[in-house]
Structure 1
Amino acid sequence: MTTDVGALLLETVPFARTLGITFDSVADGVAVCRVADRPDLRNHVGGPHAGALFTLAESASGAAMLSLFADQLSRATPLVTVSTVKYLKLALGEIVATAHVRADRAAVLELLDAGKRPTFEVAVELRNADGVVVSELTVDWTLRPNR
């Protein structure tokens, strides 16, 4: 059975639904999602609020992570440990996030099998409608073994 990772994330993270995040694609450690330009999400300069941008990026990172590790949810809980964000340009309009897992699945599972708590990085770029990178994020995930 194939898991619809975007639907899983929206089901388990209600705030992402609140922002209206939608998923274009999720597979093989890569996720692409977007948030529409909505007046209720804008900041004082007319673009999406930094919180909306961060949530979009974290949602993309979570979906990318789940595309590789959703089958491990019965034995481990995924958690964010560190996030670093760079706001590079004023974001205006619809924003698209693209996330890439920077880890080898087999290496992560080897650590989990050994009872350890693997950590790995997911890189995310946020682009405006013109394709300009407006923010970059790095999200560090861990798989905490269930007790």
Structure 2
Amino acid sequence: MSLDAGELLLQTVPFARTLGIVFDSAGDGRAICRLPDRADLHNHVAGPHAGALFTLAESASGAAMLTAFGDQLSRAVPLATTSTVRYHKLALGELTAEARLPASREERAQVVAKLDAGGRPEFDVEVEVRNADGVVVATLTVGWTLRPNRA
């Protein structure tokens, strides 16, 4: 890919741009991005709305996924299929999401092999969301699939 995964995600997911998500890094099945502290994103307890926090984490997971499987975009569409969110603490201030694809090289090969066979592989991306002090305020597991393009 000529674009990096964070830039590609921001181009294809306008809502992430609307929230002002900024990517710090993306590569090797990992991605780190930030959500600025903006009053217009706050909820009734002065932190970012759960939807904004989720979008931050889901965006990080998507970029991590793209760094691992972006070479498959010509033949498959990546889709988030599930998500489990645990909110640990009240999130205040700027937030950082760090996503990682826990799959090994062998597991990546299995995903690609299933796609080669016409299947729809599924895999998870783990995300931690931290506040400015580095405290984990939420954790997510985002399930992804690569849906083969229809001929």
Give the TM interval when normalised to the shorter protein. Answer: over 0.9
> Is the counterpart of residue 61 in structure 1 residue 64 in structure 2?
no
Alignment match, 2:122:
119
Give 3-state SS (helix, strand or coil) of 2:67's partner. Answer: helix
Letter aligned with residue 139 of structure 1: V
Structure 2 alignment gaps of length 5 or more? none
Letter aligned with residue 65 of structure 2: M
With normalisation by structure 1, the TM-score equals 0.97
Letter aligned with residue 18 of structure 1: T
Alignment match, 2:34:
34
Alpha-carbon separation, structure 1, partners of 2:2 and 2:111? 21
Give 3-state SS (helix, strand or coil) of 1:134's partner. Answer: strand
Contact 1:102 1:120 in 2 (8 A): no
User: 1:13-42: CA deviations, max 9, x gaps?
Assistant: 000000000000000000000001000000
With normalisation by structure 2, the TM-score equals 0.95
After superposition, the CA RMSD in angstroms is 0.9
Superposed, 1:19-30 pairs within 5 Å as: 19-30=19-30
Q: List 4+ stretches of structure 1 deviating above 3 A.
A: none
Letter aligned with residue 19 of structure 2: L
State the shift of 1:2 in Å.
Answer: 4.2
Structure 1 alignment gaps of length 5 or more? none
> Is the counterpart of residue 138 in structure 1 residue 141 in structure 2?
yes
Q: Percent identity?
A: 71
State the shift of 1:132 in Å.
Answer: 0.3
Letter aligned with residue 73 of structure 1: L
Alignment match, 1:85:
85
Alignment match, 1:108:
111
Letter aligned with residue 93 of structure 2: G
